[in-house]
Amino acid sequence: MRLLPAKWGTVQSQRQVWFRDCNGSDVADYELQNVDLSGGVLVLRKWTQNDFNNANFLSLSTLLSQSAAKLQTVKVEGVSQSSPEYLAFLIAACTKAHEVQLKSCTLSDTVCTCLMSSMMNSYGIKELTISFRTRMASANQARLLFQGVALSTSIQKLDLFFDFEDMEDSGIALVQAFETNQSLTSFSLYSRSLNSDFILESIIRAAVNNVTLETLTINAPHSIRHGTRRLSLSALHECLCRDDCSVQELTLESILLDGDMGDNSILQNSSLKAMKLRGRANVTCSQVVKFAKSFTCLENLDIDFEPYSDLTSLGELLLGEGSTLQSLKLFVQPKAGMDENWQEFFQKLPKMKSLRNLDLPREVVRSEACRSALLNAMWLNSSIENMNLLKNLGRVSPWSDAEDETFAEFFCQISHLFSVNRGGRRYLQNKPSEQPLPQNLWPLVLQRAMGIDYISDYHKSKYPKLQSLEFDAIYWLLREKLFT
């Protein structure tokens, strides 16, 4: 097997096979016999209309089978065949690689059988990603794939990005896989074919009940055929608050949360650390707070909810010495007449001792009153180190040039306060002016201040005042007057 050598990943090369070793060096395919494959990345990508040559698959499968090395990743993209040579290569890849990624490849019954047998091997694949959008997986293909997951003792991470012809039958197979598997720690599913709220809830319950699963991500995009999936807030709360729940990161996207927690508010969870709920939840802010309070170790919360007229209740989640929340992202579309709510929320910021990162829509600070309230609050808050003001939630900004100029000045002021906080302001806070800072603490403070590198070149070019923020932070940190 010999293909034209070219630089790593260049489209101009039209090269179908390339390898990058663990040191990041590009290795020509004809040199693979003479290099150490350990920890490397092998890529097969279809650039032209012609499919892969079976001789290439045969050479690669022989190379992998004879090598004692373990690759980090094998990526295969655009293979539309199920020849014996390709299947042999696939089995060798699943045996000799820590991770296998299949993108836009044919998912035939024979391919699924190979994947199933590879997962059942105790020395088999650890991480598997399958992604294709143009076809659907048949019920038999889903059964074969999930049977391999059920019986696997090696698979740790499974990411699936495709639709199913028979979601009910495939959903049952997936639920059974979760009930049996004892090795899976991370699972992601992106599918437009989730056509039943009951199937969605059953999958989530089975996944959460799996005692080894730590990361769960489910995205069920809205479709004209199946509509939008709904999930009861009480059902989600009930299954997450089981004593044996091990899930640490939960992401539910394009799913409409509905209802209340009912009588389950006394239940608590001590494993969940990060939660992302997107889908225009049909619950109030107070219900979200009541729900989030059940997770005693929650550190990151990314929430999309509507309506949010009771926004100030979020302060309850962030106040107090017992609060563990460090990052809060509010993915909401601001509405007119909500300035007072945001101002009340900002007034609670000085008491939020655990919060480090706060993401808000940019329109929140469109009014001068809200900008002033936020600045006043940040003068009294020493914990928040970064705030991402989302620019119109990804849409084109409707702001005028004058408003942009006003925002730029505000951005420079607020960025200075974040720089001071990142520099270690909380170490100096509550220190009387007559009481000097312990000498052994100054190196730490100055090191943090000099290490501020959160300001991108883009922001420096747009807002020239930001260029001196690192030095301003040191200056202000050395002024005892700031902390009296």
**How far, in Å, CA of 117 to CA of 237, rounded?**
36
C-beta separation of 75 from 45 below 8 A: yes
Domain of residue 410: give its range.
Answer: 403-484
**pLDDT confidence band for 137 (50 / 70 / 90):** very high
| Structural domain contains residue 7 | yes
Q: Tell me the backbone φ, ψ of residue 335, rounded to 5 degrees.
A: -125, 160
Q: Is the peptide bond before 307 cis (omega within 30 degrees of 0)?
A: yes
Confidence category of residue 393, pLDDT binned at 50, 70, 90: very low
Final residue of a structural domain among 77, 106, 135: 106
Residue 437 — φ and ψ, nearest 5°? -70, 135
Instruction: Give the per-residue pLDDT at 50.
Output: 59
Residue 29 domain flag? yes
Report CA Rg, the chain: 27
- The values of phi and psi at residue 69, to 5°, are -75, 155
* 429 pLDDT above the threshold of 70: no
Last residue of a domain, one of 106, 132, 163: 106
Measured CA angle at 103 (ends 100, 107), to 5 deg:
90
Model-level pTM?
Answer: 0.82
Task: Determine the pLDDT at residue 272.
Answer: 93
Q: How confident is the model at residue 190 (pLDDT cuts 50, 70, 90)?
A: very high
**Based on the structure, what is the number of domains in the chain?**
2
With 0-12 CB in 10 A as exposed, 13-18 as middle and 19+ as buried, what is 463?
A: middle
Identify any residues that bridge with 130 across adjacent strands, giving them in sequence order.
Answer: 102, 160
293 occurs within a structural domain = no
* Segments in 297-397 forming alpha helices (H): 314-318, 339-347, 368-379
Where residue 89 sits, what CATH number does that domain have?
3.40.140
Helix axis angle for 401-422 and 368-379, nearest 10°, is: 10
- Confirm whether 100 is domain-assigned: yes
**Of 52, 81, 106, which closes a domain?**
106
Dihedral over alpha carbons 301, 305, 307, 308 (to 10 degrees): 10
